[in-house]
Amino acid sequence: MFGRLTWDSIQTHDPFLFMATIGMPIVVIALVIVLAYFKKWGYLWREWFTTVDHKKIGFMYIILGMMMMLRGFVDAIMMRAQQSIAEGANHGYLTADHFSQIFSAHGTIMIIFAAMPIFIGLMNIAVPLQIGARDVAFPALNSVSFWLTVSASLLVMVSLSIGDFSTAGWTGIAPYFEKQYSPGSGVDYWTWALQLSGVGTTLTGINFFVTIIKMRAPGLKLMRMPLFTWTALTTNALIVLSFPALTVALLLLTLDRYLGMNFFTNLLGGNVMLYNNIFWMWGHPEVYIVILPAFGIFSEVVATFSRKQIFGYHSLVYATAVIMILSFTVWLHHFFTMGNSVDVNIAFGIATMLIAIPTGVKVFDWLFTMYRGRINFSTPMYWLVAFLVMFVVGGMTGVLMAIPPIDYLVHNTVFLVAHFHNMLIPGALFGYFAGLIYWFPKIFGFKLDERWGKISFWGWAIGFPTAFFPLYVLGFMGMPRRMYHYDNPTWQPLLIVAAIGTAIIAGAFVAMAIQAYVSVKNRKKNADLTGDPWNGRTLEWSIPSPPPVYNFAVIPTVEGRDSFWTEKEKGTAYKRPEKYSDIHVPKNVPYGVWIGIAAFFFGFAMIWYMWWLAILGLIGAITTVIIAANNDENEYVISAEEVKKIEDAHYERLAAAGGKQHE
């Protein structure tokens, strides 16, 4: 009945995993009790769990991403602490197997379950508001996508306590991940977590691609769209085109492990290189899937805080499109050393260098936007400046490794670890932090505390290079990646420096938590009802903060780029409409929650060979989809009179606050 799940599968042999085994259920039970005591379960179910409002779904995505980032960062602390002491006779405090699980979980979590949810959350919040839409094209599907991501995240967390996680790295290593070499549950946890989240992300890509193409406000032509919307459009095109490759790679691996096939073995016609090609056809576009939205955020931030139009709008759009296309032409540089011909390596080396050109165009456009601007160095602008400095360093090391002979020298060393962190942390994470601060008043109606925001920034700005720049040197010294123990004493001082940098970043995380607490505590002092705290340029700043459930009382007509700024200059930005109309709003539905629950049990059952539960989970998901498809009552109407009352109340609050709207 329970397949291969036994009492021995519960983690009790490792003190750290045992603490997680005991601690996680205690935390969950305590949370359930607290919510029941304050009678919040009904509210959470009605207003949040079953919501199809893109703004609330976006906020839940961000919360999920930040929680998983914390888990991934704990893994990073454990790895850096282990490597700082595990030299010579000292083998540290982690076993080799546990260390391998940690680096596999760290990469998987940070890419799939931290970066992806955070940028999808920001996209959910900002894109419909930027294009003048009341919601996304398929609101219920948006909920399904979120809960599939939640179910996949839960599988990763459950692996802490029941069974183990993969030791084959976040990318998978063929044929090591085959059942012959990895017979436990770890690779299966990794496979099903990625597969479920991949399905949810693909649905998100379809949803937002359709939303941007079909639901723009009248007059909002493609070349009038905000640059964040442009990067969201190209990102979702990448998602739709690349994630099926990941789905296929994981499906073939599943057939190998469950049915004894040999797609990724060296036996019976299998080919380990097949996996590398399929996986990295997704894996390299994935890098730009997480970075392009941050580029869009930086474009919004630099224009707003430089108080001028973005320099080179058209070149930024074309550069984004070129990056999208070239990202599909460079996947083989991830395995230059694995026996390809010289001609193939040269072709992919040139393609890799070429992709630096449109990225360089973006950097120069942002710098020229700042040139002679009236720059306001608010916290989002700090993140932009730090990104410009650090990302260029990472980009130069990328061009260096695009040369196959140099890649042969540093391949599989910690130089590579330094490079991709140097790209993803300033290139993606700094952008997400800038976007969270920039749009926070749009989400909640008050600003985040600037003082603690800048303290957190300096923690990252100092901690990041301290943690990762020593790895460049260690890579040149020949230190391989994924080592839990080493015998070269010359490596240890630099690894200790890297551990100190990680501790500084931990302090930056603490400062972020304090910033959130102080901001909530002082929210009345920092309240902004106007919707325009940064003097923003695009359409989302033209509505109240936080926006009403219907977003726009009247869908605006866009007459140019930087539409809100243009309206302000014309003096027509704050003119109230003469009349309101009935607004159709999608109803909250529980389908996403039920599909997420069914998907979790299906994935868990497949991991532990509980076929009856897997069948029930699959039937539950399919049944929910059928019920949802046959439900015609999927929206309600807010009458024109109710809309007018909501808008009147907003203007009354503004008058009571002693301010003029958007002033």
Q: Which residues are catalytic?
A: 61, 71, 75, 79, 103, 124, 135, 142, 145, 149, 201, 204, 211, 284, 286, 288, 299, 315, 359, 362, 419-421
Q: Please give the DSSP secondary-structure letter assigned to residue 479.
A: P
Cα torsion 54, 58, 59, 61 to 10°: value is: 140
> For 215-226, where are the alpha helices, taking DSSP H only?
none
CB 536 within 8 A of CB 304: yes
Residues constituting the chain: 663
Q: Please give the DSSP secondary-structure letter assigned to residue 545.
A: S
Comparing C-alpha atoms, which of 308, 441, 305 is closest to residue 382? 305
How far apart are alpha carbons 268 and 251 in whole angstroms?
18
Comparing C-alpha atoms, which of 310, 120, 127, 309 is closest to residue 216? 127
How far apart are alpha carbons 74 and 92 in whole angstroms?
17
CB 275 within 8 A of CB 253: yes
- Cα 417 off chain centre by: 19
Cα torsion 386, 391, 397, 399 to 10°: value is: -150
How far apart are alpha carbons 395 and 423 in whole angstroms?
7
CA distances from 637 to 181, 322, 641 (A): 58, 43, 11
Task: Note every long-range contact of 78-84, with CB atoms under 8 Å and residues 24 or more positions apart, other chains counting.
Answer: 78/16, 78/102, 79/103, 79/106, 80/467, 80/495, 80/498, 80/499, 80/502, 81/499, 82/484, 83/483, 83/484, 83/486, 83/495, 83/498, 83/499, 84/492, 84/495, 84/496, 84/498, 84/499
CA distances from 7 to 13, 98, 645 (A): 12, 19, 60
The residues pairing with 586 across neighbouring beta strands, listed in sequence order, are: 635
> For 159-226, where are the alpha helices, taking DSSP H only?
186-214
Comparing C-alpha atoms, which of 194, 192, 201 is closest to residue 141? 201
Give residues with Cβ within 8 angstroms of 330, minimum separation 6: 284, 348, 351, 352, 355
Q: Kindly write down the DSSP assignment for every residue of 556-604, as one continuous string.
A: ----SSSHHHHHHHHT-TTPPPS----EEEEPP-SHHHHHHHHHHHHHH
Comparing C-alpha atoms, which of 192, 185, 179 is closest to residue 108? 192
CB 104 within 8 A of CB 167: yes
How far apart are alpha carbons 571 and 660 in whole angstroms?
14
Give residues with Cβ within 8 angstroms of 594, minimum separation 6: 620, 621, 624
How far apart are alpha carbons 538 and 100 in whole angstroms?
46
Comparing C-alpha atoms, which of 242, 231, 237 is closest to residue 210? 237
CA distances from 465 to 246, 289, 462, 468, 570 (A): 32, 24, 6, 5, 46
Helices 450-476 + 430-444 axis angle, to 10: 160
